[in-house]
């Protein structure tokens, strides 16, 4: 696993330092969420918490894709729901393929822990990202430096702490 991180680190650094424009969700957020997923799984953190970060990463990638396509005027009918279905299909499909979901012994409140966390993380990451746009539109500029990074990540950190104590 360390070798994988060593291989991906230069790629992430390249993406971060060569990005010309800001996307719907900043590259730092998506990389931070991606690293969070890997670190949590490696540390043996409960699947609900890992799912929170998987859901956030999925939403970030959907927003990035839509922003990329819309900036280039690459629009088609139902593009938003199609990208949502494609990304969640890839994520959930790969989780099933790897047999990471579906065990009746790995549930919380009657739901698979990884899928429950993915759903909750998706919703709260989206709320954080959208609320940034609302706050910025009202004032015309961010309230503080790196607000675009902090606002989507804070709900994930709070949820991770809450589910840590729920599943402990």
Q: Which of these, 82, 105, 102, lies nearest to 92 by C-alpha position? A: 102
- Decide: helix, strand or coil at residue 108: strand
Return the structure tokens found at 138: 């009202």
Listed range (27-31, 69-73, 103-107) with the worst mean pLDDT: 27-31
Q: How confident is the model at residue 36 (pLDDT cuts 50, 70, 90)?
A: low
Per-residue pLDDT at 88 exceeds 80: yes
Distance between CA 102 and CA 48 in Å, rounded?
Answer: 13
* Residues, the chain: 168
Which pTM was predicted?
0.73
Per-residue pLDDT at 19 exceeds 70: no
Per-residue pLDDT at 91 exceeds 80: yes
**Mean local confidence (pLDDT), 114-143:** 85
DSSP count for the chain of H helices, then E strands: 6, 2
Query: Quick one: pLDDT at residue 27?
Result: 61
Per-residue pLDDT at 6 exceeds 60: no
Distance between CA 29 and CA 39 in Å, rounded?
Answer: 15
Distance between CA 97 and CA 123 in Å, rounded?
Answer: 24
């Amino acid at each position: 696993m360390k070798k994988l991180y060593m291989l991906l680190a230069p790629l992430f650094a390249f993406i971060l330092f060569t990005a010309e424009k800001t996307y719907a969700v900043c590259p730092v957020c998506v990389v931070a969420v991606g690293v969070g997923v890997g670190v949590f799984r490696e540390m043996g953190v409960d699947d609900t918490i890992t799912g929170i970060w998987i859901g956030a990463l999925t939403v970030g990638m959907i927003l990035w894709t839509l922003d990329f396509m819309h900036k280039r005027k690459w629009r088609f009918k139902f593009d938003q729901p199609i990208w949502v279905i494609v990304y969640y299909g890839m994520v959930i499909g790969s989780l099933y393929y790897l047999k990471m979901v579906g065990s009746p012994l790995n549930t919380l409140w009657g739901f698979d822990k990884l899928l429950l966390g993915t759903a909750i993380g998706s919703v709260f990451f989206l709320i954080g990202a959208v609320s940034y746009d609302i706050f910025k539109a009202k004032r015309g500029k961010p309230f503080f430096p790196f607000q675009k990074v902090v606002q989507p990540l804070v709900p994930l950190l709070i949820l991770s702490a809450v589910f840590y104590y729920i599943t402990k």
